[in-house]
Structures are given as C-alpha cells and as structure tokens.
Amino acid sequence: MIQLPGKYLRISLILSFVISLIIHFSLIASIFIDNGFRRHSHEVQFPPVFIIAQFIATFLLGFLVFVVNHRFYQPLSVQHKLKINRVISSIFITLVLVFIGILLLNLLNNYIVSEYDLRSRHREIEAITRNLFCAAIVLICINVIRFLHHKQTMELEVEQLKTQSVQSQFESLKNQMSPHFLFNSLTALNNLVEESPKTASTYINRLSQVLRYSLQSNKKQTVTVSEELDFIDSYLFLLKIRYGDNLSIKTNIDNRFYYYNLPPLTIQILIENAVKHNEISKSNPLLIEVLSTDDEKIVVVNKIQEKLTTEEGNGIGLSNLTKLFRLLGKEITIMDDKGEFRVEIPLLKPNNYEGIDN
C-alpha cells in the first residue's frame, strides 16, 4: 500500500482537478453555452454525461500519475536522490498508465455514447494526445513541487544552520567561561603562583588568548589553519597544566595547509570532545593526534578510554560541527572503530581566506 504524505495528497488532488479543468474547459463550457464551443461547424454537441465522464477520467488519470510517481521522485523528501533509472522507470510506468486509461476510457465512451464513432482514428489520436498532455503536465508539476520544496527547505536549513553556528560558538565560549572551567583555571593558577610565578604569568597570558579568540571567533565564518593552531597552542597549554603528563597531544600539520580555512574552534571542539569523554589518568594516559592528510583534511584521532562516569555536556558539539560544514558545502567523517575514535575535517581552499581581526 502506497503511503502518501497528507500535504502531497492534497496538492495532488487540487492539481489533478485544475489540470483536468484546463484540458476540458471548452467541453465543460459547452454545457452552459448554447451550441457549445465547436472547432468545426459540423461537430456534434456532446451530452453532459459524456463531458463529465471525460473530466473525471482525466482527473483520475492525473491523480494516479501523481500517486504512482511519488515513489520515484519523493518530492517532499530532501534526502531522496533522483537517479536516471528512477526517471526512466517513472516515464515507462506513466506511459503504461496513459494507454491503460485510453483503453478504459474508450470502453466507457462506447457505453455512454454509442451512437458516436468514438473509436475512429481521429478520436483515438485525440484521446492519446490529451492523456499524454495530462501526464506530461503532472510530471512537470511533480518536479516543480520537488524543486520548490527543496529550495524552501534548503533556505530554511541555511537560516537554521546560521543560528546554530552562532549558538555553537556561544556555547563553546560559555563552556570556556563556565564556573567549572574558571574554577579549574583559577585553582591551577593559584598553585602556580606559589610554585612557579613565571609559569603563572605564562598561564595568565595563554588563558587571556583563549578567551579573546573565543570572543572574536563569531566575527568570521572561517579562519586559517595557522590561526586555529595558534589558538590551540594556548588551549593545550591550559590542558597540560591540568592533566600534566597524563595527556599527550601530537600535532603534525603540513605547512602547505596553514593558509587553508576551516570554521573557528573546529579543532578545539574535537580535542575538548576527546578530553570530555575519555579517562585521563596516570594508569590510562590519553594520546590525541592532530594530523593532516594528502587529500586536504585534518584528522583528530584518539584511543577510546571510556570513563566510568561521563561529564555532562550539551551534546551539540559534533552535531553542530557537522551542520556547520554542510553549510560550507563539506562533509566531515566520524569513525568509531576498533577502539579508536577518528574525525576527519575537510579543509577549505585558501581563496576563501578570512582571518580574525585582532
């Protein structure tokens, strides 16, 4: 049984009615106007029952073509990919429906108005032309519906993604400035002031760089890899003070990618995700690797060391990052296999360069 969305069903009924009305307008008008609209003076005036039967037949054919072709086009589904084999199948099935409709209509016409030569060559060609015209209009309508729906959905998603992008950046900043983060930072700073004033001074500078970069990141859609790595250097310094030798981060980015682009805080979100969800201790030290690949990607990979109790999070980090890259026309790859968590980030060409104002 074919399941149709209610919206598509309503659109199909309305358009089938309108198409049938347009095709049979002259015949329908002839019911209400004396002598009718005739193309030739000798043309026979058809009785109302014949005209109504023609109208209903065309309406049903149009609606049936709408229904059957829904599975091929799925115009209200953005995820559905239109392939050539589906288009060919759609055209074939539609032609079959048209000719079956013609046969049934001829039988109905002979039953209703047997005194007219409705099986003549002229009438058969007219019926074929009319039904093919109806089917063609329906297929055009389906593709127009698909195009308009996809366009409207994409425009809506772009607006939503822009909002979510701002929200993601705000959430990242809020996490940095949360009481938990500030408590850990100030606790580490307090210990450093007593143990190593020089390191404490460096810590303060790095902390200010992290907060400043987070504040400035919402001004630009993308930053260079070089800028992101400078920020990451300060961010990792803070993490190393907290975790010491229990946390190791290896960075190996090819110099030729330094002027490629990516959304701000991308690498930080991935490192933060690894730190948040994995155990980091003397018995289970965590290694996070940040690498570049020859196919213009940055890879962040770590061994999975699940915590007994996970930290609370908003759950939007990777999700929003995925949507943000889709907004830029790219897809990130997330792999969780053989005890290893791996995220591949596609870089953007340098001709889209936009830096962060200092």
348/264 Cα distance (integer angstroms): 12
Single-letter amino acid code for the residue at 52: I
The tokens for 44 are 């026979």
Structure confidence at residue 288 (pLDDT)? 94
Residue 226 is given by DSSP the state H
Structure confidence at residue 276 (pLDDT)? 85
Per-residue b or e along 62-101, where b marks 16 or more CB atoms closer than 10 Å to that residue's CB: bbbbbbbbbebbbbbeeeeeeeeebeeebeeebeebbeeb
In the chain, DSSP finds a helix count (H) and a strand count (E) of 10, 7
Strands 297-303 and 340-346: antiparallel
Structure confidence at residue 105 (pLDDT)? 72
Per-residue b or e along 198-231, where b marks 16 or more CB atoms closer than 10 Å to that residue's CB: ebbeebeebbebbbebbebbbeebbbbbebbbeb
Task: Count CB atoms within 10 A of the CB of residue 171.
Answer: 17
Strands 297-303 and 286-293: antiparallel
239/279 Cα distance (integer angstroms): 14
Phi/psi of residue 290, nearest 5 degrees: -120, 110
299/293 Cα distance (integer angstroms): 7
Q: Answer for the pair 70, 4: CB distance below 8 angstroms, yes or no.
A: yes
Residue 278 is given by DSSP the state B
The closest alpha carbon to 21, from 31, 10, 35, belongs to 31
Structure confidence at residue 171 (pLDDT)? 58
Global pTM value: 0.50
- Blockwise average pLDDT, block size 10, the chain, 358 residues: 77 91 81 53 61 84 89 80 84 87 72 51 68 88 88 81 65 53 73 80 85 75 89 88 89 92 88 88 92 94 82 62 80 88 91 45
Q: Can you list the domains of the chain with their CATH numbers?
A: 6-159 (no CATH), 177-352 (3.30.565.10)
Q: Answer for the pair 346, 332: CB distance below 8 angstroms, yes or no.
A: yes
Q: Answer for the pair 290, 236: CB distance below 8 angstroms, yes or no.
A: no
Report how far apart the first and last C-alpha atoms of the chain are (Å, whole number). 62
